[in-house]
Amino acid sequence: LEIRFRSAAAPASGVVVRFPAALREPAHDCVGCARESCSHHLPKGAEMTRRPTAWLVDACWPEFAALARGQAGPEDRLFLPMRWPARAHYAWPELPGGESRALLVGLARARALRRLPAVGGALPRAMLGFDRRLAEAYARSLSHRHTHLVVGQGLLPHLWRLGCLQGRSFDVLMERWPLAALQARLDRALARYPESPTLGDFRAPDEIVAAEAEALAAASRLYTPHGGIAARFPDR
């Protein structure tokens, strides 16, 4: 730890501060510490996801809803755009720790997407922008007690760039191929079918592609009902 004092006044001379050495017990981290009396100690065999977990999600997939229903602990909190008026679209189970909603972002997105053309790249650009706004809304409501997160893939690169994932463990709900792989597939398809009006109309910014790749590499677990995506990450 380096401490610097800044002042408009002239510095005093001959002042030396010495800290006593080796008077404190060495600090431990939760991975290497064996102190079982600590309040953060997890009994042998305890699931890491039983820590207070925040589920940061968007539209509901039935497989992911079943995952939340089966794994959520007593302090887990759900972060979702809204319930009403699109309750079927956001049919996530209620979690014991309650929920936080980004209603204004959800309503603004629903209104905006209805007015956009299906071709030309306007729709995916708008969806990417609303993913960022949703991630920002969730980040403002996260508690320091949420030391573990379960994150929807669309929110992942934005939460990574906001710094919300650093210092926490997190799992990812994989809804599609990683952006780098997905866009490579689109590029190959476009080379084969250059007449397509949609294959080349959108590519995510490089910084978003890179952020998603970094976050996926740092994730603890990846969940997906898609066999092909699961095969891409056989050890995760």
pLDDT of residue 134: 98
pLDDT of residue 184: 97
Note if the pTM is more than 0.85. no
What is the SS3 assignment for 186? Answer: helix
Euclidean distance between the first and the last CA atom of the chain, given in angstroms as a whole number: 36
pLDDT of residue 33: 67
Give, for all 236 residues of the chain, the pLDDT tens digit.
888 888 888 777 766 666 666 666 666 666 566 667 765 665 555 544 468 999 999 999 999 999 999 999 999 999 999 998 888 999 999 999 999 999 999 999 999 999 898 778 899 999 999 999 999 999 999 999 999 999 999 999 999 999 999 999 999 999 999 999 999 999 999 999 999 989 999 999 999 999 999 999 999 999 999 999 999 999 89
Sign of CA dihedral 53, 58, 59, 61: negative
pLDDT of residue 197: 87
Sign of CA dihedral 36, 37, 42, 43: positive
What is the SS3 assignment for 67? Answer: helix
pLDDT of residue 221: 96
Residues 235 and 229 sit within 8 Å (Cβ to Cβ): no
pLDDT of residue 20: 64
